Amino acid sequence: MTIDFGLGMPSRPSKAAMPTWLADLDAVLPHFAGVYDSLWISDHFFWDDNPTIEVWTALSFMAARWPLFKFGPMVLGQSYRNPALMAKMASTLQILTGGRLIFGLGAGWKEDEYHAYNWPFPSVGTRLQQLDEALEIIKRLWTQSGPVTWEGKHYKITNAYLEPKPVPVPPILIGGSGPKLLNIAARHADMWNLTECTLEKYIDRNSALTAECEKIGRDPASIRRTWWGRVIVARTEAEALARGEGKWTRENCILGTPAQVIEQFQAYVAAGSTYFMTIVPGLPDPDIMGMMLDEVLPAVRSRA
């Protein structure tokens, strides 16, 4: 079994951290190359008045500045961008980076962003229908030759060309946990992600995805299961809990001493996850970096 790790970029650094955002990443990433497989950033526009990095601009920058990593959004809100435009943007980036994009897509959820930026915010059922249609359009544009015409209830394309095609076609990662979302993942996804949840929920939703695959006759093993969240590691559990500031605990992240963190990773591996996209608070602190690179990650890989 191969276990891979991605590093979550701080898309909303504190105001104090913003001046050193890039310098901190430049200090960390040379050490992580070859250990971490990929870089990730979330798709949001604001969190109150905190600095927030726009994902597609950041992805393009990341791919050029740090060419030893794959990269992806965790995950794009489908209704923030026209699906045909998303297909074109992804294809262009895939070509220019030599095939390093992982295309993450979800239904979208952060209501205040929709209202503030003047996007419609329909019901969750409608947003899931839109996600399904967006994926249909994106996949057709990536793979069908000539002009493509397709019409759904919410989106359509008419004699649309997408050239050049992405090579290879980017793997599609779908994030979410509801029954309808899992049905969409079973039909469209190469990878599936669940974020910042309890182990019990991860096990339950992973089993539900397997059931959805079996309903449509798809091999459940053809969808790679992944996890996204914070990893708070410290020399003592008390120090790790203090760093979590009461907001982050073992209920919604991986937290503790290196030995405790390894144990929690192993539990998720046993639950089916083989790819961990991790936000590691405290970087570029050399002790935190050393615990992750020298103690935690090698142990998780070797024990798998």
Domain boundaries, the chain: 4-303
d(CA 128, CA 153): 12
Point out the residues of the chain with pLDDT beneath 50.
none
Strand partners, 193: 175, 226
pLDDT of residue 16: 76
* CA-wise closest residue to 107 among 75, 66, 64, 145: 75
φ and ψ at residue 296, rounded to 5 degrees: -75, -60
d(CA 255, CA 263): 10
Q: How large is the angle between the packed helices 55-65 and 83-96, nearest 10 degrees?
A: 10
Provide the whole-model pTM.
0.96
d(CA 254, CA 199): 10
d(CA 110, CA 77): 9
pLDDT of residue 18: 84
3-state secondary structure of 16: coil
**Residue 36 tokens, joined:** 């971490």
pLDDT of residue 9: 87
Measuring CA to CA, how many Å separate 94 from each of 59, 127, 168, 186?
Answer: 11, 26, 8, 24
CATH topology for the 4-303 domain: TIM Barrel (3.20.20)
SS (H, E, C) 140-171: HHHHCCCCEEEECCCCEEEEECCCCCCCCCCC
* CA-wise closest residue to 260 among 277, 244, 283: 244
3-state secondary structure of 97: coil
pLDDT of residue 30: 95
φ and ψ at residue 279, rounded to 5 degrees: -95, 125
